[in-house]
Amino acid sequence: MAEVSIGDHQLSNLYTRRLALLAGDAHRGLLNQGRRGIERETLRVDTQGQLALGPHPRALGSALTNPQITTDYSESLLEFITPAEHDVATALEELDRIHRFVYTRLDHELLWSQSMPCTLPEEADIPIAWYGTSHIGMIKHVYRRGLALRYGKAMQCIAGLHYNYSLSEDLWRVIKKNEASPLDDKSYQSESYISLIRNFQRYSWLLMYLFGASPALSTHFLRGRQHELETLSDDTLYLPYATSLRMSDLGYQNNAQAGLMPPYNDLESYMRSLSRAVRQPYPAYEAIGTRRDGEWIQLNTNLLQIENEYYATIRPKRVINSGERPVEALCARGVQYIEVRCMDIDPFEPLGISLPTSRFLDAFLLFCALDESPFTDEANNRERTENFARTVKEGRRPGLLLQRDGAPIKLQDWGLELLAQIQSAADLLDAQRGDQQHTQALAAQKEKLLDASLTPSARVLAELQATDKSFEQFGLRQSVTHAEYFRARPLNAEENDYFDALAQTSIAEQEEMERTQCGDFDAFVAAYNQRTPQQLCD
């Protein structure tokens, strides 16, 4: 791979050429045309920090059809979704308004400030999200019943933050033309996003070190499962150097999915693996069946009920039509954006994420998109998986070694090298904006690499050690602080009217769907299960 030197670090020739191409006056404006969106999950809790067991508040609209306020797994697990914006600062402003609106409609409840759950009730008492009686609504509900059977409800109550990122289609066309690619526009864009994903998977351990914020959890969460955690107090377990227990094998885990997604180097391989998984019977799920006492309890007995059941740190995505499966949309129209799924909720930020963190993500993802991205294989896959796993459990351990191309390297040294490479992407973004926000965001991350005590995970443990050592009490204190922050800044009348109208319209849409519902749900499920493009399953 040809490289050029910048200081003591190497930039790939491809990265340098692409940066120069986009820095020119003719194309620099294309950097403004990509889009950013944020999805933030958060549990509703009562004033004692216990899970709120009531239904999704009707004042927030229909969880099925409200495009900005919905639920994830549980009635108690809210999900806030911003529109896709050219500037992430605009998306964060919208996320802020959603929080402020929701707090005007919560009845003596709080939004939980952590990724790892509050104290949860017995499994049977955790309410599964309900979306009404339309076929689409019932599909969503039955899918969640299946998740409960397969993984347990407690794991599904973990909250995360998803960062949706795209570059403009015109930008991809400019790069394609400059590199004289023989692919059509759709294929070139799709394969470029897959290339971004390969780089992301190589380097995502860095995000876990810099932004992981779940080094501790409630003792009750594990429900008697075996673990290697240390005891901090009667109600709190932790690992002293952990960054994100949420992303460890204690959080999103599923042994059935081990080996499900072999290394993939193109969109077709990704879609083929997913399509096989949603059609491949799995003996343990076959033993459960799809019905119990005449009611649906899971959509099918395959390895995955639907594509979204596959746990991934990043996904290639395409906006889907009503009733369309994700793999259908990708097969028909290609990759439109990527969804970063490994970000913890930052308990020190009311929104769960800050603008500087978002600016860093933009620079990081632009670097992943523009840099060389060698094809991966089983050995590469094992290496990146082990690097990620080591970082989430031991990322702040002094002198921690990762593996890079089969050779050991200190996490800190590799991280500093990556920041030096990402700096060129930050410079390009700053030149377009006419400020230094991306460079300043990188500088803050460099400080974390030089001093692990500045990381969110270290700050969480410092807070716990300095007070009552209780994860649950820390989570409640932060939740109360954030609630006061939002309630002190009420929306104006126009903003309130906007969200009220959104809620009322969504309720009317759900009621219309149910009123005009026709056909049999069993037949609808059968047809839905068959909608995976057959050519991907052969």
**pLDDT (tens digit, 0 to 9) for every residue of the chain, 538 residues total?**
344 444 445 688 999 999 999 999 999 899 999 999 999 999 999 999 999 999 999 999 999 999 999 999 999 999 999 999 999 999 999 999 999 999 999 989 999 999 999 999 999 999 999 999 999 999 999 999 999 999 999 999 999 999 999 999 999 999 999 999 999 999 999 999 999 999 999 999 999 999 999 999 999 998 888 889 999 999 999 999 999 999 998 865 556 677 778 889 999 999 999 999 999 999 999 999 999 999 999 999 999 999 999 999 999 999 988 778 899 999 999 999 999 999 999 999 999 999 999 999 999 999 999 999 999 999 999 999 999 999 999 999 999 999 999 999 999 999 999 999 999 999 999 999 999 999 999 999 999 999 999 999 999 999 999 989 999 999 999 999 999 999 999 999 999 999 999 999 999 999 999 999 999 999 999 998 888 765 554 4
- In this structure, what token pair is assigned to residue 34? 């990509």
Check if the beta carbon of residue 233 is closer than 8 Å to that of residue 220: no
pLDDT at 101: 98
pLDDT at 90: 98
- The helix or strand, by DSSP H or E, that contains position 80, with its residue range, turns out to be strand 77-81
3-state DSSP of 192-261: HHHHHHHHHHHHHHHHHHHHCCECEEEHHHHCCCCCCCEEEECCEEECCCCCEHHHCCCCCCCHHHCCCC
The span from the CA of 80 to the CA of 102, in Å, is 10
Burial class of residue 293 (count of CB atoms within 10 Å of its CB; 0-12, 13-18, 19+): exposed
pLDDT at 98: 98
The span from the CA of 488 to the CA of 495, in Å, is 15
Check if the beta carbon of residue 141 is closer than 8 Å to that of residue 128: yes
CB atoms within 10 A of CB 32: 13
DSSP at 69: E
Which amino acid is located at 201 in the chain? Q
* SS3 label, residue 3: strand
Which amino acid is located at 410 in the chain? K
CA 531 to chain centre: 25
pLDDT at 9: 53
Kindly compute the dihedral angle of the four CA atoms of residues 253, 411, 429, 162, in this order, to the nearest 10 degrees. 10
Q: How many residues does the chain have?
A: 538
The span from the CA of 396 to the CA of 242, in Å, is 7
pLDDT at 399: 97
* SS3 label, residue 438: helix
Architecture of the domain defined by 3-536: 2-Layer Sandwich (3.30)
Q: Which residues pair with 142 in a beta bridge?
A: none
Q: What is the DSSP string of 141-200?
A: HHHHHHHHHHH-TTGGG---EEEEEE--HHHHHHHHHHTT--S-HHHHHHHHHHHHHHHH
